[in-house]
Structure 1
Amino acid sequence: MSNKAMDTTSLSPKKSTPTNFDESASKICFRQRSLTDSLSWAHYQNQHDHLYYINEQQHTLSLYLAGGYDTHRTDAPSAYGGPGKFCLMPKDAQSEWQLGQSQQFMHLYFSDDYLKQLALKMFDMDPRQLQLPELNYTSDAATEALFRHCIASSDWQSNDNHLAMEQMTNTILVTMLKNMGISKQAITVKGGLSPKIVALVCDFIQANYHRQIYLSELADLAQLSEYHFCRMFKASLAQTPQAYLLGVRIEQVKLRVRENTANLTDIALQCGFSSQSHMGRYFKKLVGVSPKQYRDLIMK
């Protein structure tokens, strides 16, 4: 994923206007790593600049690896940065920063839907309850250790540690939710599918993933029109019915790849895909590696 896709701005680059993060002449990107369409990492260095930051596509969790003592926000009350300090910049949140001497930092980019699905899976939390706050210069020794020793020290150019990096990234996100108390929020929400209907629809998909499932079948189970069913399913599960079905199929592919050495074409057909290439395209999108690479990784 390119920086252009991750950091965007609507401000014109005038002399009196803070520089867009993406246009900073002093910024150096040491390395980038995209794990999936929803998760990516970047390692930067920057110094002596006045920057404007907004990410219109994903949330950003940033850790100062070194330096940052003179860096602070200029658009809001702010302390100063330093090694081990975290900043959380939710999607669409705007901020301005004055950078001091040379500093290095790592950004973890993650999509809103991915985080909501993770919260649902780990805490059985209604996705609509999840609202990320802006955080400036917080500290957490355990999360910092994961950043430094499990992510920063990894070889980002090799696919050999792909699964380990993804697992550590999920651990970081779950730890972030726990530390901020987000997993215990009790925001009142309305609408969506009832737990009984969610279970009924999901069980139906789990039992029939191997064949073509029609949207009308799912809507009939919920006794809703297709339009209202799709809206309420997305509200309750932070993904569309089609995305949920695809996720179930990908998990079945992973299970079969781990448990046997069957031909990948056979696995694709068993799991509801029209061909091996069809399966491979979506597997790479969600898992970050091809089915063959995934099999090689888990067999090492």
Structure 2
Amino acid sequence: MSNTQPLTVDFTQEDNVLQILPRPSLRSSDNLGWNGIYVQQHQQPAWETPEYAHTRHMLLVHSANVTVRAERWFDGRRQQEQFGGGNNIAIVPATVQHQANWARESPFTLLFLESDRLRQIAYESVIAGVELMPQYAMPDPFIDRIGRALTAELASNQFGSRLFADSLAIALSIHLLRNYSNLLQPLREYSGGLPQRKLQQAIAYINDRLTEDLSIVAIADELEMSQYHFSRLFKQSLDISPYQYVIRQRIEQAKYLLRTTALAVAAIATQVGFANQNQLTIQFRKFAGTTPSNYRKQL
């Protein structure tokens, strides 16, 4: 293990990435406007990093298709690892001194969460002093699914992903607090749904801005609520998440335009808030069981 002075890095800065890794990221969420979560996709050769600490919590989501032997140190404690075969996740909390090496070129995704996000959720549950605990390579299908969903969003690089990323970031934060923190009591479970006035206010706000790149932050701020509190109670009220509600409303608008106008499908996609025709078609098939073009033909 290196005796050089440990570094503190911020991977949102490319020059910081290159202090630790030999190649820059393939893709990142830099230009997508996501709140509280930052994502990078990497393909890195066999390497040994210097000792360093992150300014944010980092989750490594390794490719399930490549088996890699590695070693990792947390605050000087070394452990051998093997990624692949289900062991695809490692967790590096913010400010924890960390070093790693791996034996072959491998693809992986890095998820970075703001420390304040976890603290805020814990604070809303009247729990103070919660810390995330380091985790060597391990299986966690939930984190794996979130990592792959966010990686797919990076690859699409499309307008309208903020609400999706917000929803995943909140779900990920809750999962981390429940499973990988020093939390000694359950998080408070909100129940009963949103008060009717707040629910109507949220629905009106969303419906007035369906074509915008909505975010949970903006909707929760409009209701003068926290993101976590709003998200949980909204889903209890309608049995779907804010993201699912927005997509359904856009699909309903698209159906109306398909029935009542001769607009091209691409034009309808843009008019109801999708980035392009392909994005509309994917979501339309999920919710309506057919494509927009076939829906129109069947009228």
| TM value normalised by structure 1 | 0.52
Aligned partners of 1:70, 1:21: CA distance in 2, in Å? 22
Are residue 6 (structure 1) and residue 11 (structure 2) matched? yes
**Which residue in the other structure is 2:106 paired with?**
103
In structure 2, which of residues 18, 38, 41 is the aligned counterpart of residue 40 of structure 1? 38
C-alpha contact 1:7 1:55 (8 A) present in aligned 2: no
Aligned partners of 1:140, 1:52: CA distance in 2, in Å? 27
Query: Cα RMSD over matched residues?
Result: 3.7
Aligned partners of 1:56, 1:24: CA distance in 2, in Å? 11
Aligned partners of 1:158, 1:77: CA distance in 2, in Å? 40
**Which residue in the other structure is 2:83 paired with?**
82
**Which residue in the other structure is 1:67 paired with?**
66
Aligned partners of 1:160, 1:93: CA distance in 2, in Å? 34
**Which residue in the other structure is 1:14 paired with?**
none
Aligned partners of 1:52, 1:165: CA distance in 2, in Å? 31
- Work out the percentage of aligned pairs sharing the same amino acid: 12
In structure 1, which of residues 117, 129, 132 is the aligned counterpart of residue 120 of structure 2? 117
**Which residue in the other structure is 2:152 paired with?**
153
* Shift in alpha-carbon separation, 1:54–1:25, aligned structure 2, 3 A: closer
* Shift in alpha-carbon separation, 1:253–1:37, aligned structure 2, 3 A: farther
Aligned partners of 2:68, 2:78: CA distance in 1, in Å? 16
* Shift in alpha-carbon separation, 1:87–1:37, aligned structure 2, 3 A: same
Aligned partners of 1:169, 1:89: CA distance in 2, in Å? 16
Aligned partners of 2:207, 2:152: CA distance in 1, in Å? 31
* Shift in alpha-carbon separation, 1:260–1:47, aligned structure 2, 3 A: closer
How far apart are 1:160 and its partner, in Å? 2.4
* Shift in alpha-carbon separation, 1:45–1:52, aligned structure 2, 3 A: same
Stretches of structure 2 lacking an aligned partner (at least 5 in a row): 1-8, 187-199, 213-221, 223-269, 275-279, 281-299
Residues 139-180 of structure 1 show CA distances to partners (whole Å, capped at 9, x for unaligned) of 1123212322x2222345112232112212221221222223
How far apart are 1:85 and its partner, in Å? 2.2
Are residue 257 (structure 1) and residue 205 (structure 2) matched? yes
Q: Which runs of 4+ in 1 moved over 6 A?
A: 252-255
Aligned partners of 1:106, 1:162: CA distance in 2, in Å? 18
How far apart are 1:255 and its partner, in Å? 6.4
What SS does the aligned partner of 1:80 have? strand
C-alpha contact 2:56 2:93 (8 A) present in aligned 1: yes
Aligned partners of 1:25, 1:54: CA distance in 2, in Å? 11
Aligned length: 189
* Shift in alpha-carbon separation, 1:94–1:79, aligned structure 2, 3 A: same
The AA in structure 2 aligned to 1:258 is I
What SS does the aligned partner of 1:184 have? coil
Residues 198-248 of structure 1 show CA distances to partners (whole Å, capped at 9, x for unaligned) of xxxxxxxxxxxxxxxxxxxxxxxxxxxxxxxxxxxxxxxxxxxxxxxxxxx
Aligned partners of 2:78, 2:51: CA distance in 1, in Å? 16
The AA in structure 1 aligned to 2:90 is C
Pairing 1:226-245 to 2, within 5 Å after superposition: none
**Which residue in the other structure is 1:162 paired with?**
162
C-alpha contact 1:86 1:137 (8 A) present in aligned 2: yes
How far apart are 1:134 and its partner, in Å? 1.3
Pairing 1:216-295 to 2, within 5 Å after superposition: 257-260=205-208
* Shift in alpha-carbon separation, 1:56–1:101, aligned structure 2, 3 A: closer
What SS does the aligned partner of 1:132 have? coil
C-alpha contact 1:38 1:114 (8 A) present in aligned 2: yes
* Shift in alpha-carbon separation, 1:89–1:253, aligned structure 2, 3 A: farther
The AA in structure 2 aligned to 1:151 is L
What SS does the aligned partner of 1:171 have? helix
The AA in structure 2 aligned to 1:88 is I
**Which residue in the other structure is 2:94 paired with?**
91
The AA in structure 2 aligned to 1:111 is E
How far apart are 1:93 and its partner, in Å? 1.2
What SS does the aligned partner of 1:137 have? strand
Aligned partners of 2:49, 2:81: CA distance in 1, in Å? 15
Tell me which moved more, 21-30 or 95-104: 21-30
